[in-house]
Structure 1
């Protein structure tokens, strides 16, 4: 006997294609294009699976899906949607849907998923009651690359599996961590973020695990570490690839045992937080070279989520730009709009600093633009200025002759306004200066600080603020 499938889709062309593909697989398909038609067919038939669009002719297909799941708990559901946002993916997950497919989708993958769903229908546990979806979700983008990220996020919302977020600097790794927290079952608890690269090696264990009074010189009182601060919520370990080896060992022990001890203490404290880690480094070569523990990698990378660089999701640049203009206005900057020509110009840029660079550029654009609607003619000079500054930075890192020569070249190219030379020059040359110092010392931060004549902690702080990693310098040396 053929297994029956109910297809609820108001786009006739999509419905025809899906029906033909499923019938070729031996399924019997009944079709309708509305919520009313869906309810009528459900009342008169028995279906092993329902494929449903979200926006139907008479309403939102997800809003009434809870009632359908209550009436037919053994029927699997797959949701299709052209509303390709994180909000839609989360709503689909909250209904207990077997899978969510953003349009356009791969038809072969859809058919494979239908077969899997039919096989598992009725065996899965009922999902928890859906939580209210958080407003102001932090991620923007409808590209295929971001759809894959959304789908991975929805898979971890109802569990406490450890997540490792991978991606270049500026791609929004902390935003993904925040989304997992805000939309997950620990949303009512704290979200504690720790940049492990910004903490001196000798203090990182105290920061993470806490310490008792008298544990070391300067420990004048008990200190509660980040693990305890995150109790009931989420602990986000950013830049975990830069964590010292000794701290890696203690972190591994804590994750394996589910318990920690404060530095200098004997009491075992049971962990009650979800761990989300992130890094912009490739950990596998670091494992091979002995810089990162392999057992820790497999402990934190239970669910890896890889964020695409902005160059691989250029379709999202316009939406991101308009989003940042709106955010800038909400934060007190002039309210601006973006012309289509301006949006197209932005979409053609490389944005080496990813979403972070785009955001900073849009905020600067909102501040400096004189007209309400920003066109390409307004954007081009600012883009040219950024390119000139980047060329000056490259020249300074290479140190072709003398610093003065590089400065003269930059002044001829960039020509900052009178009264802004100091700030402009510092912004252009501080990053390459630090890169040069690190390249001269093989990435050794202590020696680089001594070469520059500054405190090592000051160097560490500026490296984080400038988004510099020691390996950046060693590659360019």
Structure 2
């Protein structure tokens, strides 16, 4: 689809390059360098698409777009900006921009956006809060990978579509979920999070849907589940890949019908929540091996958000490091500064623990470094100490490994220390590899594995079922 395009940018080089690219697409192009020239061009001939920068010498492009919403409601506008923040992306959507592109952008992406604008017409302004999000979560990053995340968030906050956030541990999946909630129309209602990996498998349904008095041993009174607690708001299901199959079935029914019943209850309750799920696992692979329902995957994966690892957005490391040092100072720790060599070390590190690891490192440096200025050697030493602070069973014994695991949980998931699930969680983490190793050693023969472990075969079978361990070949007989 060909048409006329008005390009507004005070940088002559950008106007020239963008105009040439769009003319190659067959469009008629007019350019302007200011808000004043923009209005004169609109008065002379209304284009099919307007492409404008945010910062102009005599005004703000987003303010112009906001006015054009009423003056020219059928004019689609594409906004680009070097102010690559989540606030800019949200504001662009709020004022009714058809699309938002962070600078620098790929010319092919711009050409595709122009084609989409001409084909689909103008998007309606989203019902979003003010662009300055007070008290919202800090999503920080100017890298292209994070800009894409911002664009997706900006497009989904005004609706109730289910979102599935994927990414490695420590990339900030809960921050994204919180941002979607805080920027959307449900922001005044509760945001409730539930980590599937932190809940014993047999209690997940009661946690999700609540239970009635007497529903099971120990159920002394009625308890509302997360769906009821999040009524009107957002329910964040973290580590959804760890949800057992029976609970997956019940969750699927809720997503299909919008209703649920408590454990042991008969009354149908309306599920008035937005679902945001997250996982650090490949759910498509879990579907293939039968550990995750395919129909539930498609119900959850309506809007996928793929969070990049920190090594995929290295240019954001200095910005994040500065932010975490500033936050540490606000918490009462000594203020620290990073020199250039220290920043270079941070940028070249692979960050297996992602943003969470960087935050922990900055807080440790703020607390322990004697000098105000932190050099490269201090960073290397701190990174080395972080690695040695997590002993394994092989080099420091089971006791040290458990202590290290508890310390990590205290940093990453402090709520897990008080939610009553810690014992079952730690025992499960130790028990699972132990049982799997013995089964592998004895060619999946349950009887021989049980003997090696010093337990009854029926006990082993129960533990296999509870832990969800799949048997390769399903050998349970006693044949040697």
Fold shared per TM-score above 0.5: yes
SS in 1 for 2:255: helix
CA contact (8 A) 1:53 1:80 kept: yes
Listed as ranges, the matches of 1:109-128 within 5 Å are 109-122=109-122, 124=123, 126-128=124-126
TM-superposed CA distance for 1:429, in Å, is: 10
SS in 2 for 1:275: strand
Residue equivalent to 1:442: 436
Q: Deviations over 1:332-391 (max 9, x none)?
A: 21122222221111111111111111110111011111222222232222123234446x
| Residues 443/178 of structure 1: CA separation in 2 closer, same or farther (3 Å cut) | farther
- Distance, in Å, in 2 between the alignment partners of 1:372 and 1:336 is 5
Q: Which has the higher mean CA deviation after the structures are superposed, 334-343 or 301-310? A: 334-343
Residue equivalent to 2:129: 131
1:356 aligns with 2:356: yes
Q: How many residues align?
A: 427
CA contact (8 A) 1:237 1:276 kept: yes
TM-superposed CA distance for 1:439, in Å, is: 2.5
- Distance, in Å, in 1 between the alignment partners of 2:245 and 2:272 is 24
TM-superposed CA distance for 1:52, in Å, is: 0.6
- Distance, in Å, in 1 between the alignment partners of 2:67 and 2:142 is 29
| Residues 2/270 of structure 1: CA separation in 2 closer, same or farther (3 Å cut) | closer
Dislocated runs of 4+, deviation >6 Å: 422-425, 428-436
- Distance, in Å, in 2 between the alignment partners of 1:301 and 1:168 is 17
TM-superposed CA distance for 1:26, in Å, is: 2.6
- Distance, in Å, in 2 between the alignment partners of 1:425 and 1:168 is 22
1:377 aligns with 2:377: yes
Q: Deviations over 1:161-184 (max 9, x none)?
A: 111111111111101101111111
Residue equivalent to 1:263: 263
- Distance, in Å, in 2 between the alignment partners of 1:351 and 1:268 is 47
| Residues 271/435 of structure 1: CA separation in 2 closer, same or farther (3 Å cut) | closer
SS in 2 for 1:62: helix
- Distance, in Å, in 2 between the alignment partners of 1:348 and 1:53 is 33
- Distance, in Å, in 1 between the alignment partners of 2:25 and 2:351 is 45
- Distance, in Å, in 2 between the alignment partners of 1:248 and 1:427 is 32
- Distance, in Å, in 1 between the alignment partners of 2:266 and 2:115 is 54
| Residues 295/108 of structure 1: CA separation in 2 closer, same or farther (3 Å cut) | same
Residue equivalent to 1:142: 142
CA contact (8 A) 2:192 2:236 kept: yes
Residue equivalent to 2:476: none
- Distance, in Å, in 2 between the alignment partners of 1:18 and 1:300 is 38
Residue equivalent to 1:427: 404
SS in 2 for 1:276: strand
Q: Deviations over 1:226-285 (max 9, x none)?
A: 001111110000011111111111101111100011111111111111000011111122
- Distance, in Å, in 2 between the alignment partners of 1:362 and 1:424 is 24
1:99 aligns with 2:99: yes
> Which ranges of structure 1 fall in alignment gaps of 5 or more residues?
400-405, 409-421, 452-468
- Distance, in Å, in 2 between the alignment partners of 1:176 and 1:374 is 30
| Residues 318/128 of structure 1: CA separation in 2 closer, same or farther (3 Å cut) | closer
- Distance, in Å, in 1 between the alignment partners of 2:298 and 2:21 is 39
SS in 2 for 1:41: helix
Task: Please report the TM-score for the alignment, with normalisation by the length of structure 2.
Answer: 0.82
- Distance, in Å, in 2 between the alignment partners of 1:59 and 1:186 is 33
Residue equivalent to 2:108: 108
Q: Deviations over 1:378-417 (max 9, x none)?
A: 2222123234446xx3xx44x3xxxxxx349xxxxxxxxx
Residue equivalent to 2:10: 10
Task: Please report the TM-score for the alignment, with normalisation by the length of structure 1.
Answer: 0.83
SS in 1 for 2:262: coil
